[in-house]
Structure 1
Amino acid sequence: MTALPLPCTLFTTQNRMDDHNAKDMQCGELTAEQLKTRFRLNHVSGRVDPFTLTKFTTFNRSSSMYRNSHGASEKISRQECARILFDEFRDLSRTFSLYGPYRHLIGQMITHMQNGNGAAFTSMHLDAALKEQILNDKSKNSTYLILKETFSSKIDWENKYYPSENKDELRDAISRVKLPKFDRFKDNINGMGITVHDTWATHITLKSLQINNDSYRAVVHYKVQDHFGLDNADIFNTKFKDFIFFRIWFVLQRYDKFGFKPFMTNMEATVEITGGRNERKK
């Protein structure tokens, strides 16, 4: 047997990185008629009508999160309409980001959609959130814990290396558990559920592995990518469709008079995994 050459990619998802053809990366391809008839988005905002380019001069702010309530209106430009929609988009996002170090991210990402022209988004706070999720996941579906167990049981302790022949054991172990996501209860209100929630593509790489006597130290790198965009299934989902927040997002992205580009959200984290001979996941 031979030692596993490092660095070594342990796992990649079927979904590929930088997939600009994904359904939620479409933009600016729907007409007003399609949005109204197919998606039933007759009412989009509590402040403006993007289809007639009118601003409501009186409306009920307390109800604008869910439905329209307005009276008089005035004509505005397309640029002014988009600006008002983005302001409302940011205001409504606060409901999903009430506390914690990541609560400001959704506002930054909405502004990035407004001004970034589709460029990828990165943030040290997103990287920190990913690392925190990986290290603090103590469930039976934890990638961190399954790797810890597999290293302990599959290392060749006599020769002090991880055998190349056991590489598939690591891939299969990761395949049996849940990749890092932000779908915990707390993510509904800490800002991570609305900014990322699920993820599109994940690569996990073993960067280094040191074995000394009956212990080891592995350095593992996670590269995770999500899309900040909505596809048809998102807006057909009644869980999202009833919120003005998602209606505004969908129209800003998909309406042919706006077409603000969705973008890739890139996250990376490097974690250290340590363990010992014959150690098992508790």
Structure 2
Amino acid sequence: MAALQFPCAIFTTQNRMDDYHAKDMRCGDLTEAQLKSQYRLDYISDRVDPWTLTLRSSMDRPQSMFCCNLRGQGEKVTRQQCATMLFDEFRSLSRKFSLYGPYSHLIEKMITHMQNGNGTPFRDMSLDRALKEQIVRDISERNSTRILLSKAFRTNIDWESKHFPIENRDRLRDAVLSGKLPKFDRFQDNYNGMGITVHDTWATHITIKSLHIANDRYRAVVHYKVQDHFGLDSDDILNTKFSQFHFFRIWFVLQRYNQFGFKPFMTNMEATVEITGGCYEI
């Protein structure tokens, strides 16, 4: 039997990398009338009114998110000043989603990238570290792609010939499909900054970089490339779980209002993990 050659890509999601046509990558495509009528975004900010470009006071705040009182005539600001104030509020409101931990700084950094980055992709070593930590610390026998791949290696390696048969390649893909791809939807991600910066992911590629077999043991080097979109689509803002927060309302308006149109961006992260095991391990 022929041996599988490495590096070897074993898994890619249906969602493709760098998909700038995805719904959450749209920007500057909605009018004030649409944002108000279709998305109920009359009241956006406690600091400034993006529709009239006037500063707010405490007298302007609605009694609830669904009911707006008459707005006072505040001091006028330019559209650029308004956007700057909204981004400052955006960052301030983000802190309730990133209370502690080594990744708590990321959301403010990514908001600033949205403000100044003009849609360019975002990379940060902290994201790579978070991804690797998530993969390595996932010890679920049913969900961990790392653990499921380890079983696939052990049961499909030709131990006598000391290689992985090419005809068993799909067993590696099946192992990934039977598990859960790395995401940041754990309880702690609601507070450590990863749930708000990434949470779910858009596209994942998994590649076996190398596989060494000797003395009834194997060592595989596996590379994960993951991409998410820092952007909102209509379903996000129409979900009351999100729309109740000024954080998401400001985000949506900054991204989708045709007078702002700040570009969402790709969030890229990568991690390389080592998987080892033996012929006789259970």
What is the TM-score normalised by the length of structure 1? 0.95
Change in 2 beyond 3 A, CA 1:67/1:25? farther
1:214-243 residue CA offsets vs partner (Å, 9 max, x unmatched): 111000000000000000000000000000
Q: Which residue of 1 aligns with 2:40?
A: 40
Partner-residue secondary structure (3-state), 2:242: helix
Structure 1 residue 138, shift from structure 2 partner: 0.7
Taking the TM superposition and a 5 Å limit, the aligned residue runs for 1:86-165 are 86-139=87-140, 140-165=142-167
Corresponding letter in the other structure for 1:96: F
* 1:197 to 2:199 alignment: yes
Q: Which residue of 1 aligns with 2:51?
A: 51
Q: Is the 8 A contact 1:96 1:190 kept in 2?
A: yes
- Runs of at least 4 residues off by over 6 Å: 63-70
1:10-53 residue CA offsets vs partner (Å, 9 max, x unmatched): 10000000000000000000000000001110011111110111
Structure 1 residue 71, shift from structure 2 partner: 5.4
Larger deviation, residues 247-256 vs 139-148: 139-148
1:188-220 residue CA offsets vs partner (Å, 9 max, x unmatched): 000000000000000000000011111110000
Counterpart selection for 2:235 from 233, 236, 240: 233
Partner-residue secondary structure (3-state), 1:86: helix
Larger deviation, residues 48-57 vs 268-277: 48-57
Q: For 1:47 and 1:67, how far apart are their aligned partners in 2?
A: 17
Q: For 2:241 and 2:39, how far apart are their aligned partners in 1?
A: 14
Corresponding letter in the other structure for 2:89: E
Q: For 2:161 and 2:18, how far apart are their aligned partners in 1?
A: 40
Change in 2 beyond 3 A, CA 1:8/1:67? farther
Q: For 1:2 and 1:67, how far apart are their aligned partners in 2?
A: 69
Corresponding letter in the other structure for 2:206: I
Q: Which residue of 1 aligns with 2:8?
A: 8
Partner-residue secondary structure (3-state), 2:6: coil
Q: Which residue of 2 aligns with 1:257?
A: 259
Aligned pair count reads: 279
Change in 2 beyond 3 A, CA 1:244/1:224? same
Structure 1 residue 278, shift from structure 2 partner: 3.7
